[in-house]
RNA sequence: GGGGGAGCGCCGGAGUUGGAGAGCCGGGCCGGACUGUAAAUCCGGUUCCUACGGAUGAGUGAGUUCGAAUCUCACCUCCCCCA
């Protein structure tokens, strides 16, 4: 860990048990924590313009090194003034390194891999080789062979000009055996060193770097990775990897890992963000989350809702809502809930109107923003556990 | 009134012209999935029943045939053309 306010500062303002509320100060403004970070993988939060994302209260988005390099290309974005200017977003940006894309190109999505399915996104031939130097793969856009290693990833993130760069890592599959996961995790640590070395001499001065803890579901590997990453000259820690086949296993991995991380570091949990996960893992001291769930589910006709028995999901396409004149979620301040009925939203999703995608995306992002905002207030008030258990039991985020 | 064409699943197509297929492609509908996002995406089901099995089935009815969606006859419905 290092603390260089010219790159990033993190201040913990309140603690409640292991949960904490704080403030991350980046080159593009403050991010109050706990925070949820919407994905803008390709330089856009799907369906929304950046002013809308800001209006929801979000202070940081996540862009992706891999996708932005394939299209439109990092030199192109650099020549247009960097990613902030390109997408007209003057708040903070964290860029993922591309490590996860190696996983998803090979295995499809996380659920497919864990359940042993070949996902539709699983593209067998896309990853050609994973070796010490880096990864050879084929572009899904034109089939051209490409290479990305730690230096390439950091170079692209430098060109994009993100406020926080993530080190290049390998996200080990759930089904990888202990031996593979051990060797991969060690290689990820060597990649961490190479990323930092590159960034030290060639990285943008104001850009912070987060290390990534791997180790799969294996206790010893998680332990050594947590210690290894905590000891590095990084500005924050992201926890990565597939975390288990179910929520209990994921909680176990995080309960093991989080106490081993340096307390002062901002802690980012990669890729996790269902409502109950946020409630539980904020409790473990996670400060920052990112996740595809709110935006993806919004496009797939699902609204986040305080329904613990339904995994906090309401299927807006369900025939049950066809004539339901209630708001989507009572009390929610988003435009979908404030202005429309379930019946109308149901109809829009069936008609495949773009408006349905936008409204459900706005709703889902509002829901998670309110959830983390409520958590922050509860931590400050010293009643986080109460907030957490009420939320898990089905209290709306804005009702506490 | 005369001539021609077409009728099968919830809907629309295609195709089959003597060896079945409850078959193909869309759509709709029903359900499932989705956690560092290539895909507003993906997967499954959708005649009936007493349901790891069974029964019906190519407009209706009869006929030819070992065997009919296919050939024959009658009827019904729809479409086109001519009066």
A127-130 β-sheet, strand order: A127-130, A135-138, A145-148
CA A120 to C1' B19 (Å) is 40
A302 touches strand B (CB under 7 A): yes
pLDDT for the residue numbered A120: 44
Strand B proximity: list residues 360-399 of A with CB under 7 Å: none
Q: Is the pTM of this model over 0.90?
A: yes
Give the whole-angstrom CA distance, residue A374 versus residue A383. 11
Summarize pLDDT for A20-58 with one digit per residue, the tens: 999 999 999 999 999 999 999 999 999 999 999 999 999
A301 touches strand B (CB under 7 A): yes
More confident residue, A193 or A111: A193
Summarize pLDDT for A69-99 with one digit per residue, the tens: 999 999 999 999 999 999 999 999 999 999 9
CA A242 to C1' B45 (Å) is 32
> In the predicted model, what is the mean pLDDT of chain A?
95
Give the whole-angstrom CA distance, residue A221 versus residue A49. 41
Angle at alpha carbon of residue A72, lines to A49 and A365, rounded to 5°: 30
Give the whole-angstrom CA distance, residue A366 versus residue A57. 8
- CA distances to A58, A142, A275, A399 from A391, in Å: 21, 46, 8, 9
- List the alpha helices (DSSP H) in A22-139: 50-55, 65-70, 74-79, 83-87, 99-107, 110-114
Span of A81-85, A137-141, A320-324 with lowest mean pLDDT = A137-141
Which DSSP letter does residue A317 get?
T
Confidence of residue A376 (pLDDT cuts 50, 70, 90): very high
Cis previous bond, A72, omega within 30: yes
Structural contact between residues A130 and A170, judged by C-beta atoms closer than 8 angstroms = yes
A300 touches strand B (CB under 7 A): yes
Summarize pLDDT for A147-169 with one digit per residue, the tens: 999 999 999 999 999 999 999 99
- CA distances to A223, A231, A243 from A255, in Å: 11, 19, 11
Residues 6+ apart with CB under 8 A from A279: A371, A375, A387, A388, A391, A392
Candidates A266, A262, A265, A252; CA nearest to A222 is A252
Summarize pLDDT for A222-274 with one digit per residue, the tens: 999 999 999 999 999 999 998 999 999 999 999 999 999 999 999 999 999 99
Give the whole-angstrom CA distance, residue A204 versus residue A310. 45
Structural contact between residues A292 and A312, judged by C-beta atoms closer than 8 angstroms = no
């Amino acid at each position: 860990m290092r603390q260089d306010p010219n790159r990033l500062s993190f201040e913990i303002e309140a603690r409640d048990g292991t949960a904490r509320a704080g403030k991350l100060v980046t080159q593009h403004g403050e991010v109050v924590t706990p925070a949820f970070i919407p994905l803008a993988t390709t330089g856009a939060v799907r369906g929304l313009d950046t002013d809308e994302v800001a209006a929801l209260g979000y202070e940081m988005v996540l862009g992706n090194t891999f996708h932005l390099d394939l299209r439109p290309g990092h030199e192109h974005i650099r020549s247009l003034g960097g990613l902030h200017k390109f997408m007209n977003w003057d708040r903070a940006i964290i860029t993922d390194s591309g490590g996860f894309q190696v996983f998803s190109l090979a295995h499809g999505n996380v659920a497919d891999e864990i359940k042993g399915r070949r996902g539709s996104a699983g593209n067998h031939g896309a990853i050609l080789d994973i070796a010490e130097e880096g990864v050879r793969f084929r572009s899904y856009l034109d089939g051209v062979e490409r290479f990305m290693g730690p230096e390439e990833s950091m170079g692209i993130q430098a060109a994009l000009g993100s406020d926080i760069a993530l080190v290049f890592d390998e996200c080990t599959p759930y089904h990888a055996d202990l031996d593979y996961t051990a060797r991969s995790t060690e290689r990820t640590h060597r990649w961490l060193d190479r990323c930092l070395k590159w960034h030290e001499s060639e990285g943008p001065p104001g850009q912070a770097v987060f290390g990534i803890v791997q180790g799969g579901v294996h206790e010893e590997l998680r332990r050594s990775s947590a210690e290894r990453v905590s000891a590095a000259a990084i500005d924050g820690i992201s926890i990565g990897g597939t975390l288990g086949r179910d929520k209990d296993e994921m909680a176990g991995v995080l309960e093991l890992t989080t106490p081993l991380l340096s307390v002062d570091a901002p802690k980012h949990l990669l890729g996790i963000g269902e409502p109950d996960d946020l409630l539980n893992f904020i409790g473990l001291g996670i400060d920052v989350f990112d996740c595809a769930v709110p935006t993806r589910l919004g496009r797939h006709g699902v609204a986040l809702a305080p329904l613990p028995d339904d995994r906090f999901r309401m299927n807006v396409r369900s025939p049950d809502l066809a004539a339901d004149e209630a708001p989507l979620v009572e009390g929610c301040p988003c435009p979908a809930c404030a202005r429309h009925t379930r019946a109308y939203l149901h109809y829009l999703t069936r008609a495949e109107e773009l408006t349905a995608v936008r409204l459900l995306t706005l709703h889902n992002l509002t829901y998670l923003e309110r959830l983390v905002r409520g958590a922050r207030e509860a931590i400050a008030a010293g009643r986080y556990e109460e907030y957490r258990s009420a939320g898990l039991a089905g209290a709306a985020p804005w009702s506490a």
